[in-house]
Structure 1
Amino acid sequence: MSVKNNLKSILILLSLVCSQSNVFAQNPFARLESLFTVPKSYTLFRATAPLNMDGELNEKSWTDAPWTEYFIDIEGDLKPAPAYKTRVKMLWDANYLYVAAEMEEPHLWANKQPEKDIIFRDNVFKIFIDPDNNMNDDFEIQINPQNKMLFLIMNKPYRDAGTPVTGWNPIGYKSGVKLSGTINNSGDTDKGWLAEIAIPLAALRFDPLNSKQNTNFRINFLRTNFDFVVKDGVYSKAMDNNGKAFPPHYSCFTSQGIINMHYPERWAYTVFSDKAPDAQSEKFSLPYSEKQRKYLWLAYYRQKEFFKLNKKYAQSLKDLNVPEAGIQIDGKSNLLSMEATSKQFLVTIREEGSTGNISVDHDGLIIY
């Protein structure tokens, strides 16, 4: 390469770097906007009488409880609406969290005798729960149209080298499925299925009556649908030219902004109401602390990007183009700080003049 061309390439590179820096200076959330939409919320009313997990939803508490909006694509509203409708409603009582999911499905199919640890390989409905809003030690619950279930505990998200723990079965859980059609029968057209699940609150270490806990419960739902083929009357997943199944279609209650459910900071907020379901909905208001967390996640995502490129973490927020001061939240000034080594980091935000703070570390753990 000539000296002239070499100099030209360097100038172009510097121009790109300066341009990117200007973009970050004007908008530190540039390129990450999909991860900073405000998650949806849902008010859970208290069931007034025992509920039967039979997939019927004919008890008064269920009929009065509101449905969520129909699910959207996992990446958000910028993607096309899912082909089949899905919606959820929830309740609670002193012992259980109740979830009911209604799923439109013209072709009900599943493994005829699935092992419990592989039901996710076919069409399933999944529940993701972070009962204390710290983004670690989360729960995943799956159910398929045959009422087969799988339970997982994640010590931390996969993105932070998390490991799923299987073999956990919450003592006392109950479930029921109602099919509107016939499963594994390719000769007819079905309407769908409804799953009803009672999850023991004790298994989640959660008490809705504890005022310090009941504002922290985060939840989201995922429905997976695989493309399929029918051969000799038997359903199976459609394969590409390399013999691999096509990726499933993902729909969820509130957008993840990314094709990954293990971003618990993107899950929906909840309000646990002690009123009966026919009471007027209680409005959800995003807590001040959640607005502060927005800047913690900004620094966290930028650090992960930096590590991917440099095999080490940045030593300062300036290296990440993340603001340290002048952060205005509800008219109050906040400060951001970071401690970091090449392998670890801790980012902290606090309101000026306050002794309280919130932090996030390299494992995505929120610390108060």
Structure 2
Amino acid sequence: MKFPGLFVLLIFLGSIVYSQEGFPRTYVAFRTVDSIKIDGIANEKSWSKVPFTSDFIDIEGEEIPPFRTNVKMLWDEEYLYFYAEMEEPHVWAHLKQRDTVIFYNNDFEIFIDPDGDTFNYMEFEMNALNTVWDLLLTKPYREGGAVIDTWNISGIRTAVHITGSLNDSSDVDQGWSAEIAMPWKVLEENNLSGKTHQENYWKINFSRVNWQFEVSEGKYSRKKTSEGQYLPEYNWVWSPQYVVNMHEPERWGYVYFRDEPAGEVFTFQLPEAESKKRFLYKMYRSQKQYRSIHGQWASELTKLELSEAIILSGYEIKLETHSAGWNILIIDPSSPVRYGIRENGLIFTY
């Protein structure tokens, strides 16, 4: 393909530093040491040997939610396991049909992108009735991706445990927990990296949707304004998105699958490649913003928010424009692997 426009910028200003967003959160998932019974109660030895994630935070990364949410992860040869605990003084749900829009109830959600390219990722939701919704997205909504609603995680096992009572407005509950086993044979189908999960990391994030409610004749429902509009939901997440949008997979957290038994200790250090990818996604978002304002893509890097985005050390940054869009490339003299991003948000190596 011919590139009629080529803009090159050299930056020599120290190590990589982010000025606007914190780095995504990380978690190390170890192997199980015993059999996991999916009953919503994490009373197995394996669960006792691994830590919870840090507390969930509001999706924009600023406010602390009034109710705590934490998750644990484990894995074995057949399944990837999740256990979530959610404080909730009023546990309620009414949606009972699989693959309905579960986030119209309070829910717990899992987002998984095995190869970390933001394409072909999975979304899973469940409510306190143990009703689930699983779907596959070919691309984020920002790129007009298709939603494969009929896609299912075949063989998934789920359970809910309620500490209190369900749909009883006369008392105060402690909360509810969710336990999930997702088969690797399904999850790996969307892993196009050529690397298995073992000793590798995936992009994963969790969300908890929580609604303000009202009670009528003893029944819970989402609260409405005086004009009859539903009040907006709260979105509490593990790794902050910094926007009210879970469908920006590049901002999800990192889960590293350690091939050691639960109870071991390991600190996961992300490779430099992930900083490069985050820089490229910053440029991608800056290009999208520029086009929304000016009606066309920026043809020069200096027109983008490069100075505010990141400081790179000794890297050459290239912007190639062509008839179908553009590529932004990072050339690191110390690495044989080069990374780029296209106008559709897809990361590639060359």
Give the TM-score range, shorter chain: 0.7 to 0.9
**Contact 1:313 1:343 (8 Å CA) reproduced:** no
Gaps spanning 5+ residues in structure 1: where?
A: 1-25
Q: Which residue pairs with 1:294 in the alignment?
A: 278
Distance 1:304-1:210 versus aligned 2 partners, 3 A rule:
closer
Which of 37, 40, 45 is residue 55 of structure 1 equivalent to?
40
Instruction: Give 1 or 2 for the bigger CA radius of gyration.
Output: 1
Which of 256, 269, 284 is residue 285 of structure 1 equivalent to?
269
TM-superposed deviation, 1:92 = 0.5
Q: How many angstroms apart in 1 are the aligned matches of 2:335 and 2:123?
A: 36
Q: Which residue pairs with 1:236 in the alignment?
A: 221
Which of 128, 131, 137 is residue 145 of structure 1 equivalent to?
128
**Contact 1:312 1:342 (8 Å CA) reproduced:** no
Distance 1:187-1:209 versus aligned 2 partners, 3 A rule:
farther
Q: How many angstroms apart in 2 are the aligned matches of 1:220 and 1:144?
A: 17
Instruction: Write out per-residue CA displacement over residues 313-366 of structure 1, whole angstroms, 9 at most, x where no aligned residue.
Output: 11221222537xx9634xxx1111122247622211120365421111122111
Q: How many angstroms apart in 1 are the aligned matches of 2:104 and 2:19?
A: 31
TM-superposed deviation, 1:145 = 0.3
Secondary structure at the counterpart of residue 80 of structure 2: strand
- Higher RCO (Cα < 8 Å, 6 or more apart): 2
Q: How many angstroms apart in 2 are the aligned matches of 1:327 and 1:229?
A: 49
Which of 219, 236, 260 is residue 204 of structure 2 equivalent to?
219
TM-superposed deviation, 1:33 = 4.8
**Contact 1:312 1:343 (8 Å CA) reproduced:** no
Moved more, 338-347 or 158-167: 338-347
Poorly superposed stretches of 4+, deviation over 6 Å: 206-209
Instruction: Write out per-residue CA displacement over residues 144-164 of structure 1, whole angstroms, 9 at most, x where no aligned residue.
Output: 100000001111111222222
Q: How many angstroms apart in 2 are the aligned matches of 1:106 and 1:285?
A: 38
Which of 289, 303, 322 is residue 319 of structure 1 equivalent to?
303
Secondary structure at the counterpart of residue 226 of structure 2: coil
Which of 60, 75, 80 is residue 75 of structure 1 equivalent to?
60
Aligned Cα RMSD in Å? Answer: 2.4
Which of 51, 55, 79 is residue 96 of structure 1 equivalent to?
79
Secondary structure at the counterpart of residue 47 of structure 2: helix
Q: Which residue pairs with 1:45 in the alignment?
A: 30
Secondary structure at the counterpart of residue 275 of structure 1: strand
Instruction: Write out per-residue CA displacement over residues 46-96 of structure 1, whole angstroms, 9 at most, x where no aligned residue.
Output: 0122211101111111111111111111111x32x1011100000011111
Matched, 1:356 2:333: no
Q: Which residue pairs with 2:4 in the alignment?
A: none
Matched, 1:203 2:186: yes
Distance 1:353-1:284 versus aligned 2 partners, 3 A rule:
closer
Distance 1:94-1:294 versus aligned 2 partners, 3 A rule:
same
TM-superposed deviation, 1:311 = 2.1
Moved more, 109-118 or 52-61: 109-118
Secondary structure at the counterpart of residue 159 of structure 1: helix
TM-superposed deviation, 1:240 = 1.8
Instruction: Write out per-residue CA displacement over residues 231-262 of structure 1, whole angstroms, 9 at most, x where no aligned residue.
Output: 11111111123322111111111111111111
Q: Which residue pairs with 2:7 in the alignment?
A: none
Distance 1:365-1:210 versus aligned 2 partners, 3 A rule:
closer
TM-score (norm 1): 0.84
Higher strand share: 2
Moved more, 206-215 or 171-180: 206-215
Residues 128-207 of structure 1 aligned to structure 2 (within 5 Å): 128-205=111-188
Secondary structure at the counterpart of residue 156 of structure 1: coil
Count residues in correspondence.
330
Q: How many angstroms apart in 2 are the aligned matches of 1:164 and 1:230?
A: 34
Higher helix share: 1
Q: Which residue pairs with 1:339 in the alignment?
A: 320
**Contact 1:239 1:245 (8 Å CA) reproduced:** yes
TM-superposed deviation, 1:168 = 1.2
TM-score (norm 2): 0.88
**Contact 2:250 2:278 (8 Å CA) reproduced:** no
Q: How many angstroms apart in 2 are the aligned matches of 1:246 and 1:343?
A: 41
Q: Which residue pairs with 1:14 in the alignment?
A: none
Q: What percent of counterpart residues are identical?
A: 36
Distance 1:292-1:230 versus aligned 2 partners, 3 A rule:
same
